[in-house]
Amino acid sequence: MTMGQFLPLAIVASSLIPGILIFFVPEKRATARTVLNLSGAVAKVVLVGVVIWRSLQGLEHELRYDIGADLVFRLNADGPALLFASLSSVLWLVTTIYAIGYLEGSPFRRRFFGFFSLCVTASTGIALAGNVVTFFIFYEFLTLATYPLVVHRGTPEALQAGRTYLWYTIGGGTVLFVGVVWLFVLTGPADFGDTEQLASLAPESVATLHLLFWVLILGLGVKAALVPLHGWLPVAMVAPAPVSALLHAVAVVKAGAFGVVRIVYDVFGIGLARELSLLEPLAVIAAITIIYGSLRALTQDNIKRRLAYSTVSQLSYIALGVAIPGTLATAAALVHLVHQGVMKITLFFCAGNLAETLKIHKVSELDGIGRRMPLTMGAFTIGALGMIGMPPVAGFITKWMLGLGGLQTGDGWIILILMASSALNAAYFLPVLHAAWLRPAKQEWKTHRPAKWGETPWMLLVPTVVVGLLSLLLGLFAATGWSILAWATAIADTWYPATTP
Amino acid sequence: MGNLLPLAVLTPLLGALATLFLPVRHRAAAGIIFSFATCGAVGLLGPLVVGGESTYHLLGGWEPPLGIRLQLDGLAFLFLILTALVGLPVGLYAAAAQKMPAGKGGTSPLFWPLWMFLWAGMNGLYLSHDLFNLYVVMEIIGLAAVALAILSGRPAALVAGLRYLLAALAGSGAFLFGVALFYGSYATLDLTLLGERVETSHTTAVAFALILVGLWIKAALFPLHFWLPPAHASADPPVSAILSALVVKTAFYLMLRLWTGSFASLTTMSAALALGILGGCAAVWGSYQALRQEHLKKMAAHSTVGQIGFLFIMLPLITAAPAGAVWLAPAWTAGIYQVLAHGFAKAAMFLSLGVFALATGHDRRDSMLNMVSRLPMATFAFALAGVSLIGLPPSGGFVAKWMLLKAAFASGQWWWALIVVWASFLTAGYVFMVLRIAFAPAPVESSEAARPVPKILEVAALALGMGAIAIGFRAEEIVGLLDIAPATEPAIELVEPASDPSDPTDLPNPPDDLSDPPSPPGERRQP
């Protein structure tokens, strides 16, 4: 096995092996578990870093394993794969630290961290999948690994949420299964990026290709939370905060969004998608989802619920970017994949801090909280401003690029959607900020989780501040040559034939 | 080399005798020893198959049509291996459960002789190449299975057992009629010779139909599945595992063998479609019924009806397909993988349900409360089995469903895909309904620790569950086994008509190249 074959496998294994081992570590051996978990998380970041570095030198990273009967398991570290893998690996490391702090002393931690690692394994597997079969395998694996996390608390609401989650995702998975096999029959074991085969079918079987595309999008749309398939997401927020954070930032929803990216660019190819006019309806659905999610977020008093609807809305920027056929919009979609993840994880960490430290779950209880927890609320403010699209936070970059992308292809209505969405984002985030910083506190704060120093235990605080700063830095340095934006633009260029703008 | 074939049948037969005459306290140990020996005997056949050739053995040196021929090819070997790999953990489970106090799930001492007898019968069925012989082993299997099913001695089991017995007898009766008609028309019962001699006629059609009906009942294909759920649900867990995972499959094996082998020239697309539609109905109906059951073992038993249905969807896909059609190989793979995956998964499921029942004393769905913390290993085994039954990746069930969908799309019979997907969705429903409860914390008053259960019971269930998953990682070699064509004629003295004076017709010249390179399954199974 060469280095190029070994490294992609190692990236997946760096969370799979600790995940499996954790199930064998007795519940009481918290230190052993932490060591396993953190070493896996650090190893994953390092491995992804090494692969990026080697890729920059032009080396290929591909692993093929023949399951038999045409089924090929393929991991391939191409541009988008590495982009998504870096997001998952970095955020997994941060979330692991956070989760260790968050769950200190609570029961069933063995189970939690075991499945948590498996969940990240599935997520990196989705990132590195080099063909639809591999993608589908990890996509379903993600459903299974996430379910125990959603129901972890075991409360009736959690079980209900788990049930909803399963019906939606298994249903979506089933539809996707049909689409994937159908695709397989049409193209054979094609790798991602091999679009000729499907394109060559185009003249005769337009209707088939249309149907196939929508079957695939329907299957992926559940996890990508496209309206009306989003119902599970706001319910699933009953999961513990680190799970919600990971669910909303990298794991489940991004799996769907990333799948849409792969289907449009690496399976159909932008040329075919444009030729068949597949993208316009997708753009409309994405736009509806953006507005609908924001409207629903307005009326939620529960902080995590508000954030969840905000995810529904924000996530569809990715689908919208994909649906506008131009390099700028494509780059916007990829950038948002990362930026939204970092900002949303910040917001969920903050919500978790509030809930753990002061048992605050509602927006209406936030009056004056800024003085009690300044760092947490500082991070929250950065995240919220980013979501609104305020420069120089990361979220601004996406909206700017999306707007430019819309103008590039002459879709002026995109600007209107962006404006409406930003206004709505402001309408549901600014009152939170106003209450937190400017209103006086209603009552004495009762501390449930005392900290030795600072406003809350450091294992909760440090990750929150780090991701908060990261959301700021990603925006500030977006114009440099090594930013996510530059990377995304480079990837987007590879998907467009040289002749198109 | 072919002399090794009878060993696979004789070893469990010896085991049956030994365990019958040994004192009760030594039976489990002897049973385990003979289980390993049987696995060894089956393993010895491995090199014969891997060589890429099928092997035959003439019992007592008599040639057909007078003598009886045992024959080993890839398909038979797969079933032999499955039976061995499922039989061994189930045996370990039964041995460990025997030590449990009476009335608390311990298996009866008669389990071992009956199970060994059944095992011998099944191995005999896989290897037999002669219709009458097949009838005899089918009777052995049927009687042993019924006896095992009523071992638990519960009234429900006795009632169900009687129904099972009647169904089994009806099935064998129909089969025997068919066999008699074939013998009357063609004066031979050797499958290869029959394959050469059969021609379409009314008698032949009736004979084949009778055989199919017999197997239809035995395979519990919808709507003749009525006997299966009560029998499988009321038996002891290891028995249920054997019945569901292996015994029903023997009827499917035989049907597949006759359908694609000797009687391929008699099959028609309309018959295949009818069986496929019944299979589809079974898949949906069985899964739906499973979803409605409050009792876990009933759920698992209905699930077997559904999973058997998936097998029959293969038939319309492989019948009347043009030579070299691209969907033949996927359809074959789908069928075989469904057999293997369901074999492992259902055995794992019944054993894990047995563990739960031992721990809680009953098998209602709500007994699963908080099972994930009480018996994590058995719950995990159940979950793995469920994953494979649903067809989620990575598992053997996934490969089966994938290939079935692929074959359906490629052949243009896409409607099967909808049925498969719908049934899989229902399957997900009943599996997760149980797992959902397993993850729920028990209310304080009922959260007393589960009764202690020997670890080995959980390990046996888990091993089977892992088996269902593991076969999903490597399909190449397993599918490759299918390429090993059914044996060609014994190249010796077959032309001697004196061996059967009642049959004056000239026997065709036997093909003399036994080492013919294996052809892909698609080309081989042509009618």
Task: Say if residues A300 and A309 touch (Cβ distance below 8 Å).
Answer: yes
Nearest chain A residue to B326 by CA distance is A185
- Is A71's CB within 8 Å of B409's CB? no
* pLDDT on residue B510: 41
H or E stretch including B428? helix B415-439
Residues of A in contact with B333 (CB under 8 A): 69
- From the number of C-beta atoms within 10 Å of its C-beta (0-12, 13-18, 19+), residue A164 rates as middle
Nearest chain B residue to A109 by CA distance is B373
Task: Say if residues B398 and B388 touch (Cβ distance below 8 Å).
Answer: yes
Q: Which of B329, B432, B474 sits opposite A166 (nearest CB)?
A: B432
Q: Which of B333, B393, B403 sits opposite A136 (nearest CB)?
A: B393
| Count of CB pairs separated by less than 8 Å, A with B | 95
Residues of B in contact with A68 (CB under 8 A): 474-480
Residues of A in contact with B373 (CB under 8 A): 108, 111
Mean pLDDT, chain B, whole residue set? 83
- Is A184's CB within 8 Å of B406's CB? yes
The Cα B435–Cα B453 span in angstroms is: 20
Residues of B in contact with A178 (CB under 8 A): 405, 417, 421
Q: What is the pLDDT averaged over residues B218-236?
A: 89
Q: Is B66 on the interface with A (CB under 8 A)?
A: no
Residues of A in contact with B390 (CB under 8 A): 170
Please write the tens of the pLDDT for every residue from A258-314. 999 999 988 888 888 888 888 889 999 999 999 999 999 988 888 889 999 999 999
- Is A170's CB within 8 Å of B473's CB? no
- Amino acid in position B252: F
Q: Is B308 on the interface with A (CB under 8 A)?
A: no
> Measuring CA to CA, how many Å separate A372 from each of A199, A347, A366, A378, A447?
59, 17, 10, 11, 10
- Is A68's CB within 8 Å of B421's CB? no
Q: Which of A111, A147, A185 sits opposite B410 (nearest CB)?
A: A185
Q: Mutual orientation of helices B455-470 and B396-411 as an angle, nearest 10°? A: 30
Q: Mutual orientation of helices A327-358 and A79-102 as an angle, nearest 10°? A: 10
Q: How confident is residue B54, by pLDDT bands cut at 50, 70 and 90? A: low
Nearest chain A residue to B404 by CA distance is A181
> Measuring CA to CA, how many Å separate A177 from each of A244, B148, B337, B403, B418?
26, 40, 18, 11, 11
Is the link from the previous residue into B316 a cis peptide, with omega within 30 of 0?
Answer: no
The dihedral region occupied by B150, where left means phi > 0, alpha psi between -120 and 50, and beta the remainder, is alpha
Q: Which of A69, A140, A151 sits opposite B439 (nearest CB)?
A: A151
Task: Say if residues A468 and A382 touch (Cβ distance below 8 Å).
Answer: yes
Indicate the SS3 state at residue B324.
coil
Q: What would the two tokens of residue A152 be?
A: 């972890």
- Is B439's CB within 8 Å of A159's CB? yes
Does residue B519 register a pLDDT over 60? no
* pLDDT on residue B485: 57
- Amino acid in position B366: D
Q: What is the pLDDT averaged over residues B505-511?
A: 42
* pLDDT on residue B239: 92
Please write the tens of the pLDDT for every residue from B202-212. 888 999 999 99
Give percent of chain A above pLDDT 70. Answer: 99
Please write the tens of the pLDDT for every residue from A166-198. 889 989 999 999 999 988 888 877 888 888 888
Q: Mutual orientation of helices A156-187 and A206-223 as an angle, nearest 10°? A: 160
- Is B479's CB within 8 Å of A136's CB? no
A116-155: buried (b, 16+ CB within 10 Å) or exposed (e) per residue?
bbbbbbbbbbbbbbbbbbbbbbbbbbbbbbbbbbbbbbbe
Indicate the SS3 state at residue B110.
coil
* pLDDT on residue B141: 94
Mean pLDDT, chain A, whole residue set? 87
Q: Which of B330, B410, B432 sits opposite A69 (nearest CB)?
A: B330
Q: Given CA atoms B449, B455, B456, B460 in this order, what sign does their dihedral have?
A: positive
- Is B409's CB within 8 Å of A185's CB? yes
Alpha helix locations (H) across B361-395?
A: 371-374, 376-390
Q: Which of B387, B406, B477 sits opposite A181 (nearest CB)?
A: B406
Q: Choose, out of B406, B469, B483, the residue to mutate when testing the contact with A (most A CBs < 10 Å).
A: B406
DSSP-derived letter for residue B484 is S
The candidate with the shortest Cα–Cα distance to A15, out of A127, A103, A180, A181, is A127
Residues of B in contact with A69 (CB under 8 A): 329-330, 333, 399, 403, 475-476, 479
Of B490 and B71, more confident: B71
Q: Which of A67, A159, A166 sits opposite B473 (nearest CB)?
A: A67
Nearest chain A residue to B392 by CA distance is A140
Please write the tens of the pLDDT for every residue from B101-136. 655 555 678 889 999 999 999 999 999 888 888 999
- From the number of C-beta atoms within 10 Å of its C-beta (0-12, 13-18, 19+), residue B311 rates as buried
Cβ neighbours around A431 below 10 Å, total: 14
Q: Choose, out of A112, A170, A176, A215, the residue to mutate when testing the contact with B (most B CBs < 10 Å).
A: A170
Q: How confident is residue B442, by pLDDT bands cut at 50, 70 and 90? A: low
* pLDDT on residue B526: 38
Q: What would the two tokens of residue B418 be?
A: 């909808």
Q: What is the pLDDT averaged over residues B21-36?
A: 89
* pLDDT on residue A205: 82
Please write the tens of the pLDDT for every residue from A319-375. 999 988 888 888 889 999 998 999 999 999 999 988 888 888 888 888 888 888 888
Please write the tens of the pLDDT for every residue from B284-305. 999 999 999 989 999 999 999 9
Interface of chain A against chain B, CB under 8 Å? 23, 66-71, 108, 111, 136-137, 140-141, 143-144, 147-148, 151, 154, 159, 162-163, 166, 170-171, 173-175, 177-178, 181-182, 184-185
- Is B372's CB within 8 Å of A111's CB? yes
Residues of A in contact with B473 (CB under 8 A): 67
Residues of A in contact with B393 (CB under 8 A): 136-137, 140-141
H or E stretch including B145? helix B131-149
Does residue B521 register a pLDDT over 80? no
Q: Is B417 on the interface with A (CB under 8 A)?
A: yes
Nearest chain B residue to A142 by CA distance is B393
- Is B394's CB within 8 Å of A141's CB? yes
Q: Which of A68, A70, A144 sits opposite B387 (nearest CB)?
A: A144
* pLDDT on residue B307: 93
Q: Which of B403, B425, B474 sits opposite A170 (nearest CB)?
A: B425
- Is B475's CB within 8 Å of A170's CB? no
Nearest chain B residue to A68 by CA distance is B476
Strand A71-76 versus strand B55-58 pairing type: unpaired
Q: Which ipTM did the prediction report?
A: 0.84
Q: What would the two tokens of residue A325 be?
A: 């056929």
* pLDDT on residue A66: 82
Q: Is B333 on the interface with A (CB under 8 A)?
A: yes
Q: Is B147 on the interface with A (CB under 8 A)?
A: no
- Is A174's CB within 8 Å of B421's CB? yes
* pLDDT on residue A450: 76
Q: What is the pLDDT averaged over residues A131-139?
A: 91
The candidate with the shortest Cα–Cα distance to A255, out of A339, A315, A323, is A315
Sequence-distant (≥ 6) Cβ neighbours of residue B501 within 8 angstroms: none
Does residue B160 register a pLDDT over 50? yes
Q: Is B442 on the interface with A (CB under 8 A)?
A: no
Give percent of chain B above pLDDT 70. Answer: 87
- Is A141's CB within 8 Å of B441's CB? no
- Is A151's CB within 8 Å of B406's CB? no
- Amino acid in position A331: A
Q: Is B100 on the interface with A (CB under 8 A)?
A: no
The Cα B51–Cα B395 span in angstroms is: 28
Q: Is B421 on the interface with A (CB under 8 A)?
A: yes
Q: How confident is residue A138, by pLDDT bands cut at 50, 70 and 90? A: very high
Please write the tens of the pLDDT for every residue from A422-453. 999 999 999 999 988 888 888 777 887 777 77
Sequence-distant (≥ 6) Cβ neighbours of residue B29 within 8 angstroms: B95
Nearest chain B residue to A23 by CA distance is B376
- Is A108's CB within 8 Å of B393's CB? no
The dihedral region occupied by A454, where left means phi > 0, alpha psi between -120 and 50, and beta the remainder, is left
Q: Is B406 on the interface with A (CB under 8 A)?
A: yes
What are the residues facing B56 on neighbouring strands?
B71
Does residue A120 register a pLDDT over 60? yes
Q: Choose, out of A23, A67, A118, the residue to mutate when testing the contact with B (most B CBs < 10 Å).
A: A67
